[in-house]
Structure 1
Amino acid sequence: MEVLILVLSFLILLGIGVPIAWSIGISSLFTMLVSIPAMPAFTTVAQRMATGLDSFALLAIPFFILAGQLMNRGGIARRLIDFAKTLVGALPGGLAHVNIIAAMLFGAISGSAVAAASAIGGFMGKRMEDEGYDKSFGAAVNITSATTGMTIPPSNILIVYSLASGGASIAALFLAGYLPGILTGLFLMIVAGVWAKRKGYPVGERSQLREVARTFLDALPSLLLLVIVIGGIVVGIFTATEASAVAVLYCLVLGFWYQEFKATDMPDILLHAVSTTAIVMLLIGTSMSMSWIMAFENIPQQITALLLSVSDSPVVILLIINLILLFVGVFMDMTPAVLIFTPIFLPVVQEMGMDPVHFGIIMVLNLSIGLCTPPVGSVLFVGVGVAGTSIQKVVKPLLPLFIAMIVALLIVTYVPGLSLWLPEVFGY
C-alpha cells in the first residue's frame, strides 16, 4: 500500500504540473501519513530533508555553481572555441567538431550542461549558420555535446551521486568520468563528421602552428583550472569542497584579468548562483526524504529480488536498468533521478559485483541523454532557444547523435575498464 501511494501520488502531482521538488516532498509526506500519525510524519520528513543536506561534500555544489556563473560571464567560452577551431576546424564538419570540443572543455570547467549549451551555442550558432551549416544541425550538435560536461569533472551531479551512494569517493568518480566523457564526445564527432560530409558543409583552412600556439596560450589560464581543481583533489592537496572554493577564487581573478566583467556585475552573478543553488538544494532535500522512506519500506530490497528473479545474467540486468533510467531521464531531472534511483539500483549491481564508481558513471551518462529530450530536457530547450529554431526541426539531426550517445553508454556499461582504469592508476 505504501509503495502504491508513493508512486501514484508522485505521478499525479507531476501530471497536474506541481514542480518536481514539491511533488517529491508531498508524495513522501503522504506515504508517511499512512504508516504513522500526522505530527511524527511531518517531523520525520522535515528531519530527513535537513539531515540529507547536512553534508560537508554538498558545500562543493554552491561553490561550483558560482564558479560556473563566473566562467559564463568571463569570456572563457570564446577562448576555448578559438583554440578548438585551430585543432579541428579543417576536418569535415569542422565547426561541428569545434562546438563539441569547446562544449566538452567548457562543460568540464563549469560543471553545467545548461551553461555550456548557452555559452557555446551563443558563439557557435551564428558562426555555423554564416558558413553554410543548417541551423537545426548546429543546434543538435550543441545540445548533445553540452551534456558531456556532466561526466567529465568537476561535475556537481557526481558529487550528488557520491552522497546518494553512501560514500563513493568523489575523487574516484571524477577520475572515472574522463574516459567515458571523452568517448562520448568522440562518438558525437564521428556522427557529426559523417553528417557534414553527406550534406557537403564547408571545410575550414588548416591552422598554422603559430596560430595553434597563440590560441592555446590565450585559453591556457582557463584550461589550468582543470589541472588545479582535479590535480589538487587527486594529489590530496584539498578535498572536493575546498577545490570548489579554489575554483571560485580562480574564476574571479580570471574574469577580472580578462576584463570580461566588472565589480558592478557581481550582484547579478551572485543572485543567479544563489537561485540555482536554492533549486538544487531543495531537490536534494526532498529527494533524500523520499530515499529514506523507500529504505524504510524495504523498496530497494524488493526491487533487487525482483530483478535478480528475472535473470541471473549481468548483461540482461544492466540492459534492463539502462532502459529504465533512459525512460526516467525523459521525465525527470538528473538530480532527483540520481538521488531516488541510486538507492534502488545500487544494491542490485553490487549484488552482481559491480563497483559503485562504475555504476555512478553509467547512471550519470545515461541520465545525461534525458537532458536532450522533451518534456523536461533543460539543455534541449536552452539549445533550441539559443539557436532560434524549434524542437520539431531539431529532431531529425538529433536522432543519429542520440544513437551515438547510446552506443557510448553501452560500451561504458559493459567495459568497466573505461571507468575504473584511471582511479586504479591513482590508487582510488
Structure 2
Amino acid sequence: MDTALLASLVLFGVFFLLLIIGVPISISIGVSSFIAALTVIPFDVAIFTAAQKMVQGINTFSLLAVIFFILSGSIMNNGGIAIRLINLAKLIGGRLPGSLAHTNVVGNMLFGSISGSAVASAAAIGGVMTPLQKKEGYDPSFSAAVNIASSPAGMLIPPSGALIIYSLASGGTSISALFMAGYLPGILMGLAVMIVAYFIAKRNNYPVAERPTFRQGLIVVLQSLPSLSLIFVVIGGIVAGIFTATEGAAVAVFYSVILALFYRQLKFSHISAILKETVVMTGIVLFLVGASSIMSWVMAFTGIPAAITNMLLAASDNPIIILLLMNIILLIIGTFMDITPAVLIFTPIFLPIAVEIGMDPVHFGIVLLFNLCIGIMTPPVGSALFIGCSVANVSIESVLRPLLKMFAALIVTLMLITYIPWISLALPKFLGLMN
C-alpha cells in the first residue's frame, strides 16, 4: 500500500475514533500522529522526533501574541466594557425594525473584536441583551439565534488570535495583512445576520427604539471611545510598523488594565480569576499547537498533503469546483472541531491546494476562518450555539429554525468572499501590506 495512503488512513482513522469515544482533541491529535509515525519509522525514532517537534512547535515568538491577546480579552471581559459597547451598538442600529436584535449583532462585532472570543461575546452581549429583548416581546428563540449567528463575527475583525494561529500554521503569512483582510468579511458576516433579522423583525412587528437626542448620542460615543481606541491603537500600531503583532498584544494588555481601572470595574479580587483563566486558555492553546506540530510533521514526512492535493486536482481542474469542494469539507469539519485545532490541522493540507490554483494565502486564511466560524454555531459541537442557548434559556431544537435562515445568509456571504478575492484583499493592498 502507498505510504501516504496508509499513513493517512491510520492518522485520521485513529484520530476520529479517539474523538468519538470522548478523548480530548489535543490528546487525540498527539496519539494519532504518533501511531501514524510508527508506520514509517521505528518506535525510538518516532518518540524522540515527536517530542522534538512538539517543543519546536511552541518555541515561536508569534505565539506570545496569542497569549497576550487572551490575557487582554480576559481583562476586558471583567472590565465593564460590554454595556458601553452595547449602548454604542444601540445608537448605530437603533432605528431599524427589531432594533434590539441589530444592537445585539453590532455589540457582538464590537465586543468580539476586542475580546477575540465568540463564546465570550455570546455570553457577555447575549447576557445583557436577552432580558431586554424578552421584556419588549421578542421571541426568545429568535433572540438567541441572532446572538449565536453574530457572535463569531468578532473573530474575523482584528485583533484575532485565530488569524495569528493561521499565520503560524501557514509558515509565516503576514499577520498585518491578515488583520486588514478580516475587516470587510467580518462586517459582511454581521450584515448578513442583520438582513435576515430585519425581515423577521418586520414580519413580527418588533419595536423600533426611540430616536436619541444629539446630547444622548454624544455621551454614548464619548463613553465608548476609550474601549474602541484599543482597536485603533493596537491595529494602527501594527499596520504602521510601530510594533509587531506580539508587541501590539502586550500593548493591548497594558491598555486593557488602564481602561478597566478608568472604568473602575476591575477589582483586586478579579485578578486571580483573570490570571487563572489566562493560564488555562494558554495551556490549552500551547498543547494544541504542540500536538498539531507532530501531526503537521507526520503529514509532511509521509506526503499526505501532496496526495490530497493530487486527489482534489484530479477530481477537477476547475478552480471554482475545487474551492467549492474545499468549502464543503471545511464546513463539515467546523461542525465537530473547534477553530484552533482545525486551523492547525487543515491549513497544511488545504493551503498547498489553494496556492496551486492561484489563491493568495491571505485570501485563503480568511475563507478558512469564515468556514470555521460558521462551524462553531452549528451542532453537534458548536460552542457558540450551546452558550447562546444557555444564556437565552432556550432549547437547541427551538433555535434551529430561525438560525437556519441566518445560516443560509452566511453561506451566501461565504461564497461571495470565496469567489471575490477583492473583499478580503482590498484593504491590505490599499495599505501596501501586500502586492
Q: State TM-score, norm by structure 2.
A: 0.97
Distance 2:10 2:315 in 1: 25
Superposed counterparts of 1:293-308, under 5 Å? 293-308=298-313
Q: How does 1:238-257 map to 2 (within 5 A)?
A: 238-257=243-262
Q: Which runs of 5+ in 2 are unaligned?
A: 1-5
- The DSSP-based 3-state class of the residue aligned with 1:348 is helix
Q: Which residue of 2 aligns with 1:349?
A: 354
Q: Matches of 2:294 and 2:258 in 1, distance apart?
A: 39
Amino acid at match of 1:377: G
Is 2:194 the counterpart of 1:189? yes
Task: Tell me the amino acid that sits aligned with residue 173 of structure 2.
Answer: A
* Counterpart Cα distance in 1 of 2:286 and 2:13: 24
Matches of 2:93 and 2:209, distance apart in 1: 9
Matching of residues 234-273 of structure 1 within 5 Å = 234-273=239-278
Aligned to 1:103: 108
Could you tell me how far 1:34 is from its partner in structure 2?
2.2
Aligned to 1:152: 157
Give the letter for the 2:201 counterpart: A
CA deviation profile, 1:289-348 (whole Å, cap 9, x unmatched): 101110111111111111111111111100000000000001111111111111111111
Structure 1: how far apart are the matches of 2:142 and 2:111? 20
Contact 1:111-1:155 at 8 Å conserved across structures: yes
Find the partner of 2:75 among 50, 70, 77: 70
Distance in structure 1 (CA, Å) of the matches to 2:140 and 2:284: 32
Aligned match of 2:30 in 25, 32, 36? 25
Secondary structure of the corresponding residue to residue 132 of structure 1: coil
1:237 is paired with a residue of what secondary structure? coil
Deviation of 1:261 (Å): 1.8
Shift of 1:87: 2.1
Out of 121, 141, 150, the residue aligned to residue 126 of structure 2 is 121
Following superposition, the deviation at residue 356 of structure 1 comes to 0.2
| Offset, 1:201 | 1.2
Provide structure 1 residue ranges, at least 5 long, that are not aligned to the other structure.
none
1:408 to 386, 410, 413: 413
Instruction: Indicate the residue corresponding to 1:224 in structure 2.
Output: 229
Alpha-carbon distance in structure 2 between the residues aligned to 1:251 and 1:202? 35
What one-letter code is carried by the residue in structure 2 that aligns with 1:197? Answer: K
Q: 2:96 maps to what in 1?
A: 91
Matched, 1:316 2:316: no
Name the CA distance, whole Å, in 2 between partners of 1:39 and 1:172.
Answer: 42
TM-superposed deviation, 1:422: 0.6
Deviations 1:342-385 (A, max 9, x none): 11111111111111000000000111001001221111111111
- Displacement of 1:397 in angstroms is 1.0
Out of 212-221 and 29-38, give the one that drifted further: 29-38
Which residue in the other structure is 2:175 paired with?
170
Structure 2 counterpart of 1:193, which letter?
Y
Partner residue in 1 for 2:375: 370
Residue of structure 2 equivalent to 1:52 = 57
- RMSD (Å), alpha carbons: 0.9
Which residue of 203, 208, 214 maps to 2:213? 208
Question: Percent identity of the aligned residues?
Answer: 57
Q: What residue in structure 2 maps to residue 379 of structure 1?
A: 384
Residue number in structure 1 paired with 2:3? none
What's the CA shift for 1:90?
Answer: 2.0
CA distance in 2, matches of 1:118, 1:277: 20
Distance (whole Å) between structure 2 residues aligned to residue 308 and residue 264 of structure 1: 57
Q: Contact 1:87 / 1:212 at 8 angstroms: preserved in 2?
A: no
Residue pair 2:237, 2:248 contacting (<8 A) in 1 also: yes
Q: CA deviation at 1:388?
A: 1.2
Alignment-mate amino acid for residue 248 of structure 1: V
Aligned to 2:140: 135
TM-score (structure 1 length as normaliser): 0.99
- Asked whether the 8 Å contact 1:87–1:207 carries over to 2, the reply is no
Q: What is the count of residue pairs matched by the alignment?
A: 428
State the one-letter code of the partner of 2:327.
N
